[in-house]
Amino acid sequence: MRHTISVLVDNKPGVLARVAGLFSGRGFNIECLSVNETLDPTVSQMTLVTRGDDQLIEQIIKQLNKLIDVIKVVDLENGDYVGREMALIKVSVENTKRSEVLSIVDIFRGKVVDISPSFYTIEVTGDEAKIRAIVELFKPIGIKEIARTGKVALTRESKERKA
Amino acid sequence: MAGDTVKLTGAQIFLECLQREQVKVIFGYPGGSVLDVYNHLYDASIKHILVRHEQAAVHAADGYARVTGEVGVCLVTSGPGATNTVTGIATAHMDSIPVVVFSGQVPTMLIGNDAFQEADIVGITRPCTKHNYLVRDVKELAAVIKEAFYIARSGRPGPVLVDLPKDVLRASDTFHYPEHITMRSYRPTYKGNKRQIVRAMEEMVAARKPVIYAGGGVILSNASKELTTFARKLNIPVTTTLMGLGAFPGSDPLCLGMLGMHGTYRANMAVTHCDLLIAIGARFDDRVTGDLNKFAPSAKVIHMDIDPTSISKNIKVDIPIVGDVREIIKECLTIISEQKIQKDHRKEWLNEIKHWREKHTLAYKKSTNIKPQYVIEKIYELTKGDCIVATEVGQNQMWTAQYFTFDKPRRLLTSGGLGTMGYGFPAAIGAQVAFPDKTVIDIAGDGSIQMNIQELATAVQYQLPVKIVILNNHCLGMVRQWQELFYDKRYSHSRFETHPDFVKLAEAYGAVGLRATKPEEVEKVIKRGLATHKTVIMEFVVESEEGVYPMVPAGASIDKMILL
Ligand SMILES: Cc1ncc(C[n+]2csc(CCOP(=O)(O)OP(=O)(O)O)c2C)c(N)n1
């Protein structure tokens, strides 16, 4: 099963290498990874997506925790969370009606962020399913290039107000 | 001591920190980037042992750490000095030995420039250290060193490398050694979960066929006394791993000996048939478990370990207890004292084990040639076990584990995890430095000893009376044995066509050389060797074709043993 794991780490040189090295050295796979600073500049947040059975995921989480620079590891799959990624998609508009592209962009609440005579660059954010869907729709139209961020994620707060 | 206004150089700060950490000895080798430190070592009170190869410096520090329980310390130069330490670091890492390695580095300005004698040692050692550091500013130096020692010795111990650029060692700063450290990202768990402990105790008291499987973690946490009391109180038989030898007295009637690939018949049978397996400070290594599906197949598993990653890594654990095993066993003991222990229900189980013991015990066939096992038995007999034993890797290591009885912890130095040939002799040097008056013996093969033979010069220079026992079978014995059993006796490149004359070699270094070629000479040579107060090589020309038995073929179920 796929798991999205959030890892808080000390913002120090070499930390990414330690995490990446852990995955390659132990034969765990990373499907995607994003790293960013948090509100506290001494702390970075990594969001990584990996795949494995329960035992493997447990081992991955323990191994991450064992790294000296890792402050906290949360398996987001254990609760409810919001996960988003962003894609920039360069779509050919030469032989097609621009309106067709624009209507897809509209439906997916994307944005056209760059225009040239032959290409539109479209920005779209959403969960993986949404990104996959829009990519599929643009494919027959003609995608020149695509750039995607890794997933970023936050746990959902409880809907009820705390007493 | 340095007042607040007095500035020290990085090199001085470094030595000041070692003093605060109560480091008594450094194993090292100088070179360009650490000359500032060596300049201050010239008249420092701290002892420095000049090895002859940096790999040996780490093994020696590792041996020192294993016998004393303190952190071993090394100092080497950048580039080749640093890369030479890698095997030593990996060895310590696999066996969880607290060692801090300080490596010189080119000046920070030049890092990344392929400067002379530059190596990215932090990158190279990242996967084989518990943690490592590149110090970029003299202001961080003291705090990093404090952290390095703390990390090396706390939690599950391990090696830490600190890379010291030359300009950092030459820059100045006021010296301040932090009293305490708290790291938000590193807080080992020492106390076991009380509820889990109570659950485990219920199982341990009730079980009809329990076995304790004790590993090196028991020795690392200094829990041997507690384990011994505990096992005796509950009347539970104990098998140990190679790393756990000495964690429980080998001569105790409850001791089953070592388990696994070259374990005893009774240990492997007991584990296969037990209803409760109590793993303490052990990690279910493949050399122990063989076929995982057939390892303790009908047992509930309790696992006590300080490292959560060891738990449920290879085998599903029913009751995990994370914490320092000494703390956990102590907690168990307080619970026991409140309970009446009924031991009778174990009678049948202990009888069954006795039956296995009678069916097969360790044995070898006598011959007109010297049998390596006989040499080890004799060493045990003549020392009464009162010595520190290091081993190399291969048959020599397994025969030592089988035929030498370890009653006390921290008496066996062996590379269990990495299996590093060339480990034993430098480790023995480290042990002898720690305990100059103890008998320290390295049991070696003729192959392994040549991997760090240059350290004879170190032993002679510092008048360390290490005793090297070479079981000379003229081949890479363990390789030969595998080729015999699993490769149709095609002895590809495992025979040595030539050897140095080990007796003359010892003499050339200024050590003593002795040799036995017939069984009747063995005792005499050992007696003479033990009585020699100098570094000595005792060479025993042993039967070439001898094998280590019992043996479980790699990956087979551990009750399927090739017996002799
Ligand atoms: C550095 C290193 N290289 C290779 C090996 C593989 N290996 C394991 S045992 C062995 C043979 C050791 O021969 P020797 O030291 O003569 O000991 P014996 O088995 O004969 O007692 C070898 C080559 C190893 N463990 N370590």
Mean pLDDT of chain B: 96
Put simply, the answer to whether A71 touches B185 (Cβ < 8 Å) is yes
Q: Percent of chain A at pLDDT above 90? A: 89
DSSP 8-state symbol, B370: B
Give Cα separations from B309 to A20, B101, B236, B375, B416 (angstroms): 18, 25, 26, 40, 19
* pLDDT for the residue A95: 74
A18 close contact with B: CB closer than 8 A: yes
DSSP A56-118: HHHHHHHHHHHSTTEEEEEEGGGS-EEEEEEEEEEEE-SSS-HHHHHHHHHHTT-EEEEE-SS
The burial of B114, by beta-carbon neighbours within 10 Å (0-12 exposed, 13-18 middle, 19 or more buried), is given as exposed
State the CB neighbour count (10 A cutoff) for residue B529.
Answer: 23
Written as one letter, the residue type at B555 is G
Residue B288: pLDDT band with limits 50, 70, 90: very high
Q: Is B117 a catalytic residue?
A: yes
Average pLDDT over residues B221-225: 98
Say whether B127 and A10 touch across the interface (CB within 8 A).
Answer: no
Q: What is the pLDDT of residues A70-110, one digit of tens each?
A: 999 999 999 999 999 999 999 999 876 788 999 999 999 99
Interior angle at CA B123, CA B98 and CA B426, nearest 5 = 40
Q: Nearest-CA neighbor of A60 among A46, A68, A50?
A: A50
| pLDDT of res. A162 | 60
- With beta carbons under 8 A apart, name residues in chain B contacting A59: 309, 312-313
- In B, which residues are within 8 Å of A42 by CB distance? none
φ, ψ at B3 (rounded to 5°): -75, 180
Q: Does B339 qualify as catalytic in the annotation? A: no
Looking at chain A, which residue has its C-alpha nearest residue B148? A68
Could you report the per-residue pLDDT of B162-175, keeping only the tens digit for each? 999 999 999 999 99
Give the number of other CB atoms < 10 A from CB of residue B517. Answer: 14
User: Known catalytic residue: B342?
Assistant: no
Please give the structure tokens belonging to residue B26. 């450094």
Q: pLDDT digit string (tens) for A106-160?
A: 999 999 999 999 999 999 999 999 999 999 999 999 999 999 998 999 999 887 7
Q: Is residue B564 predicted with pLDDT exceeding 90?
A: no
* Residue contact A10–B308, C-beta within 8 A: no
Q: Do A59 and B313 touch (CB under 8 A)?
A: yes
pLDDT of B261 strictly over 70: yes
> In the predicted model, is pLDDT for residue B340 greater than 80?
no
Q: Strands A2-10, A143-148: parallel, antiparallel or unpaired by DSSP?
A: unpaired
* C-alpha distances in Å from residue B241, one per residue of B257, B442, B465: 8, 20, 29
Cα B215 to chain centroid, rounded: 11
From the list B221, B209, B215, B212, the residue with the least C-alpha distance to B302 is B212
Give the closest-approach CA distance of B313 to chain A in angstroms: 7
Task: Using the mean position of ligand 1's atoms as its centre, give its distance from the Cα of residue B412 in Å.
Answer: 18
CB B293 within 8 A of CB B555: no
Percent of chain B with pLDDT over 90: 96
Six-digit token string for B314: 């290879």
How remote is the CA of residue B446 from the centroid of ligand 1, in Å? 9
pTM of the predicted model as reported, rounded to 2 decimal places: 0.96
Question: What is the best residue among B402, B478, B483, B542 to mutate for testing ligand 1's pocket, by most ligand atoms within 8 Å of CB?
Answer: B478
Q: How far is CA A82 from the centre of its chain?
A: 11
Please give the Cα distance from B469 to B511 (Å, whole number): 13
Token pair for B241: 């791993």
For the cut 80, the answer to whether the pLDDT of residue B153 exceeds it is yes
The reported pLDDT for the residue numbered B344 is 76
**CA distance linking residue B3 with residue B229, whole number of Å:** 50
Cis peptide before B237 (omega within 30 of 0): no
Q: Do B151 and A68 touch (CB under 8 A)?
A: yes
Residue B202 token pair:
């219920």
B151: nearest CA partner in chain A: A68
User: Which of B132, B149, B138 is CA-nearest to residue B19?
Assistant: B149
Would the pLDDT of B334 be above 90?
A: yes
Report DSSP letters for B142-187, one per residue: HHHHHHHHHHHHSSS--EEEEEEEHHHHHSEEE----S---BTTB-
Whether the per-residue pLDDT at B157 is higher than 80: the answer is yes
- Which pLDDT belongs to residue B377? 98
Instruction: Assess contact for B258 and B240: CB atoms under 8 A.
Output: yes
Q: Which two tokens stand for residue A158?
A: 């409880």
Mean pLDDT of the region A37-64: 95
- Indicate yes or no: CB of B308 within 8 angstroms of CB of A66: yes
| DSSP secondary structure of B413-425 | E---SS--TT-HH
How many beta-carbon pairs below 8 A join chains A and B? Answer: 36
Contact residues, chain A, for B186 at CB < 8 Å: 68
When mean pLDDT is compared across A85-99, B399-413, B426-440, B481-495, the lowest value belongs to A85-99
Nearest chain A CA: its distance from B153 CA (Å): 14
The binding-site residues of ligand 1, defined as CB within 6 angstroms of any ligand atom, are B 392-396, 419-421, 445-448, 471, 473, 476-479
Give the Å distance between the CA of A83 and the centre of ligand 1: 52
Contact list, B185 vs chain A (CB under 8 Å):
9-10, 68-71
Closest partner residue to B312 (CB to CB) among A17, A55, A69 is A55
Look up residue B304 and give its two tokens: 């006590």
Neighbour count for residue A100 (Cβ, 10 Å)? 13
Q: Is residue B506 within 8 Å of B537, Cβ to Cβ?
A: yes
Confidence label for B246 from pLDDT (cuts 50, 70 and 90): very high
Report the C-alpha gap between B185 and A69 in whole angstroms: 6
Check CB contact under 8 Å for B185 and A66: no
Residues 6+ positions from A55 with CB-CB distance below 8 Å: B312, B316
**Rounded to 5°, angle at Cα B195 from B189 and B199:** 120
Q: How many CB atoms lie within 10 A of CB B382?
A: 16
Q: How far is A83 from chain B (nearest CA, A)?
A: 25
Q: Which residues of A touch B312 (CB under 8 A)?
A: 55, 58-59
Pairing of strands B255-258, B238-240: parallel
Task: For residue B408, count CB atoms less than 10 angstroms from its CB and return exposed for 0-12, middle for 13-18, buried for 19 or more.
Answer: middle
Task: Catalogue the E-assigned strands of B474-564.
Answer: 512-516, 536-541
Distance (Å) of CA B395 to CA B391, B398, B449, B482 = 10, 5, 13, 11
- Computed over every residue of chain A, the mean pLDDT equals 93
Nearest-CA residue of chain B relative to A57?
A: B313
Does the pLDDT of residue A163 top 60, yes or no?
A: no
What type of residue sits at position B424? G
Among B130, B146, B166, B209, the one annotated catalytic = B166
Given this model, what pLDDT does residue B2 score? 47
Residue pair B369/B375 in contact by the 8 Å Cβ criterion: no
With 80 as the cut, is the pLDDT of residue B300 above it? yes
Tell me if residue B54 is catalytic: yes
Return d(Cα B247, Cα B477) in angstroms, integer.
28
Q: What is the pLDDT of residues B483-542, one digit of tens each?
A: 999 999 999 999 999 999 999 999 999 999 999 999 999 999 999 999 999 999 999 999
B93 contacts on A by Cβ (under 8 Å): none
Residue A97: the pLDDT is 75
Cβ contact, residue pair A25, B127, below 8 Å: yes
- Measure B444 CA to ligand 1 centroid, in angstroms: 10
Exactly one of B54, B70, B147, B377 is catalytic; which is it? B54
Angle at B99 between CA B460 and CA B173, to 5 degrees: 105
Whether residue B359 lies in the annotated active site: no
